């Protein structure tokens, strides 16, 4: 601080050295340490989460000199007792049904004791100095505790960022819970390069928090991709006019093939199908290399041609055709059938999920939305990632396995472009909603989650190549611990489940026990932010962006919809027709079976017994018929 700033700071301090605008709110008592202290709080002068300060003399050097430090802390607990109103008196009042006001007992001698977690110290004439250091000497009992001015607290939260030219980008997320006049921002650089996790129970405000951060990233033009399983972020496209400098695109999953990208079909089979044996893999590669591809055709159509090709090979095998390719001679018929079933399983999944997604997109509420077919992330990555572009992948209608496969394929391709330093696409941030479905813990099962190894790789190596992640989940304990631990910043809102709280405590290095205990007390949009994106853990109230609330999504009236619902007349008529036909078949079948049996064997079947051969039903799989290997 130069001479001019020092003189201004000196003039702003009182005769006792207390900065102007600071209010005395209490006195330190009891045992104090370098990590915390307690103080007696004046009535109604402080709240849980308040940032407070006190002053202490600390050793300066080894020569015995000393200097005055401003010690900053956060109130993490407040207890209230009245020594003049003992429990015995309260019991007697309850037993005798006597009002407290009808007694001579004192109710105005409350004893408020606040517990403070020390955040660090600053030195010099300016108490809001930007350099924060650890406390190396305990606070003195009897020291005064102050409620600092808003400007000093703001400088404490931002450090020396305001003096840098140009100042680093910030993501404004809200304000301190206890002080609405003090804004809280995250370091944009730390968020996009070192990953962020947003964790909260359902209704805790995680989507509101994610939209707030997304909005701030859009404002600085940072490229974003959002994997949206339920349509929570489609409203951003609806509000495109709020972001005139940006483009917001909504993509639906679609894979097309051409001679140059047949590897995407291999990847699709590996991620969505069952693991193939060596022999089945040999056949699959033969089919891939010898099935004619029409440039730009859907992957589902190409897989259907591969299935037809496999059936043709099986037919030749049965007829012992001498013109069969030499490399297929060692392939046995059961191997062909097993590989064919795997392809059929993938095809059934693709067709069913595609139909589900199309039906959802065709709903009346999405009438004004411009859904576009997903570009190929290998051939056209710049259509997905570019400055000022927000790409929203609408994954609704696809089941867990298919969603995971899509996320894996897109992220793998984009990260490959970044990691090869090809310059094809700029750095980008990926937002993954419902992250517990894409990076599940071992207990949840990981065999059918192809996105897990992909996201692990990106979150481990992405910092070096400008690929950042924001993971959002309402069930932290179901997340892969290895992946979540790579997040360097956390925004944790309300959590009630004991397993979730315990898990969050295990992966957040600087979450204190006191902070963990208040997670369940947060209201919607309230939480604690911690990690490299802030200087120290803070209790925050996330700003609610009312203008981003969708007019079409999120406020469905299912009661009214249920009241209006009527069965489909055509479906009902078909069902009744099928039921009549089945009844007729049962009657005729019984008579025929009984007569034939009696004629041939001289005996009759027991009443109600149907001795016709029944076909064993196939096992149903996810999105289709599960192949039986």
Cα 130 to Cα 540: distance, rounded to the nearest angstrom: 21
Cα 419 to Cα 344: distance, rounded to the nearest angstrom: 35
pTM above 0.85, yes or no: no
Cα 569 to Cα 573: distance, rounded to the nearest angstrom: 6
Angle between helices 333-361 and 278-290 (to 10 degrees): 60
Q: Is 286 helix (H, G, I), strand (E, B) or coil?
A: helix
Low-confidence ranges of the chain (pLDDT < 70): 1-17, 62, 104, 125-130, 160-163, 260-261, 445-448, 554-557, 585-629
> What separation, in Å, do the N-terminal and C-terminal C-alpha atoms of the chain show?
75
What is the total residue count of the chain? 629
From the list 268, 297, 302, 272, the residue with the least C-alpha distance to 287 is 302
Give the bridge partners for 251, in sequence order. Answer: 372, 393
User: What is the reported pLDDT for 398?
Assistant: 86
User: What is the reported pLDDT for 616?
Assistant: 44
The residue extents of the domains of the chain are: 12-163, 170-253+374-546, 257-358
User: What is the reported pLDDT for 227?
Assistant: 97
Mention every residue, 6+ apart, whose C-beta is less than 8 A from residue 67: 57, 58, 60, 123
Beta-strand (E) ranges in 60-110?
66-81
User: What is the reported pLDDT for 553?
Assistant: 72
Cα 122 to Cα 1: distance, rounded to the nearest angstrom: 13
Mention every residue, 6+ apart, whose C-beta is less than 8 A from residue 339: 276, 280, 283, 284, 287, 310
Beta-strand (E) ranges in 153-308?
170-176, 183-187, 196-199, 224-228, 247-252, 256-257, 297-298
User: What is the reported pLDDT for 2?
Assistant: 47
User: What is the reported pLDDT for 163?
Assistant: 66
| Residue whose pair of structure tokens reads 């079909």 in the numeric block | 265
DSSP annotation string for 161-179: GGGSSSPPPEEEEEEESS-
In CATH, 170-253+374-546 is 3.40.50.300: yes
| Residue whose pair of structure tokens reads 């989460």 in the numeric block | 49
Per-residue pLDDT tens over the stretch 332-359: 999 999 999 989 988 988 888 888 888 8
CA 321 to each of CA 309, 313, 337, 472: distance values in angstroms, whole numbers, following the listed order: 15, 9, 17, 57
Instruction: For residue 598, give both structure tokens.
Output: 């009696």
């Amino acid at each position: 601080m130069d001479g001019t700033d020092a003189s201004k700071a000196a003039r702003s301090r009182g005769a006792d050295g207390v900065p102007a605008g600071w209010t005395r709110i209490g006195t330190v008592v009891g045992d104090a340490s370098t990590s915390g202290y307690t103080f007696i709080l004046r009535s109604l002068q402080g709240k849980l989460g308040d940032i407070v300060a006190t002053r202490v003399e600390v050793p300066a050097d080894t020569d015995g000199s000393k200097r005055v430090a401003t010690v900053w802390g956060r109130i993490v607990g407040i207890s209230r007792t009245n020594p003049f109103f003992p429990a015995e008196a309260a019991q007697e009042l309850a037993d005798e049904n006597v009002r407290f006001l009808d007694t001579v007992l004192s109710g105005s001698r409350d004893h408020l004791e606040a517990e403070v977690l020390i955040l660090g110290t600053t030195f010099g004439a300016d108490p809001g100095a930007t350099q924060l250091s650890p406390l190396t000497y305990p606070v003195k009992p009897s020291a005064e505790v102050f409620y600092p001015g808003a400007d000093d607290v703001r400088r404490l939260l931002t450090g020396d960022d305001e003096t840098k030219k140009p100042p680093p980008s910030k993501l404004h997320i809200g304000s301190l819970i206890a002080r609405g006049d003090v804004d809280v921002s995250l370091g944009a650089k730390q968020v996009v390069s070192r990953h962020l996790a947003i964790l909260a129970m359902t209704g805790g405000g995680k989507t509101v928090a994610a939209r707030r951060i997304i909005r701030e990233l859009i404002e600085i033009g940072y490229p974003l991709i959002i994997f949206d399983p339920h349509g929570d972020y489609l409203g951003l496209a609806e509000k495109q006019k709020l972001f005139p400098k940006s483009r917001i695109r909504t993509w639906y999953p679609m894979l097309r093939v051409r001679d140059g990208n047949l590897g995407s079909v291999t990847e699709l089979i590996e991620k969505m199908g069952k693991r193939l044996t060596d022999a089945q893999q040999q056949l699959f590669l033969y089919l891939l290399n010898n099935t004619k591809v029409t440039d730009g055709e859907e992957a589902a159509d190409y897989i259907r041609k591969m299935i037809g090709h496999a059936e043709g090979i099986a037919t030749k095998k049965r007829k012992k055709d001498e013109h069969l390719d030499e490399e297929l001679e060692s392939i046995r018929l059961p191997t062909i059938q097993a590989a064919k079933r795997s392809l059929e399983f993938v095809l059934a999944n693709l067709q069913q999920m595609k139909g589900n997604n199309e039906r959802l997109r065709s709903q009346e509420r999405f009438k004004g939305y411009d859904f576009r077919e997903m570009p190929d992330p290998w051939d056209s990555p710049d259509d997905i990632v570019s400055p000022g572009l927000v790409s929203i992948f609408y994954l609704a209608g696809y089941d867990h396995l298919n969603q995971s496969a899509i996320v894996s394929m897109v992220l793998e391709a984009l990260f490959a472009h970044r990691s090869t330093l090809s310059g094809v696409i700029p750095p980008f941030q990926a937002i993954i909603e419902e992250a517990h479905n894409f990076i599940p813990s071992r207990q949840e099962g990981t065999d059918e989650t192809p996105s897990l190894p992909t996201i692990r790789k990106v979150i481990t190596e992405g910092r070096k190549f400008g690929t950042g992640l924001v993971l959002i989940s309402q069930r932290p304990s179901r997340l892969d611990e290895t992946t979540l631990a790579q997040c360097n910043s956390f925004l944790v809102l309300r959590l009630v489940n004991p397993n979730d709280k315990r898990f969050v405590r295990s992966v957040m290095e600087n979450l204190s026990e006191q902070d963990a205990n208040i997670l369940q007390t947060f209201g919607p949009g309230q939480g604690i932010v911690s990690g490299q994106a802030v200087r120290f853990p803070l209790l925050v109230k996330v700003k609610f962006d009312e203008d981003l609330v969708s007019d079409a999504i999120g406020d469905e009236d299912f009661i009214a919809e249920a009241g209006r619902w009527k069965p489909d007349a055509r479906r009902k008529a078909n069902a009744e027709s099928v039921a009549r036909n089945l009844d007729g078949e049962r009657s005729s079948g019984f008579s025929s079976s009984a007569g034939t049996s009696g004629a041939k064997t001289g005996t009759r079947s027991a009443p109600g017994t149907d001795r016709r051969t029944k076909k064993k039903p196939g096992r149903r799989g996810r999105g289709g018929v599960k192949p039986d290997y």
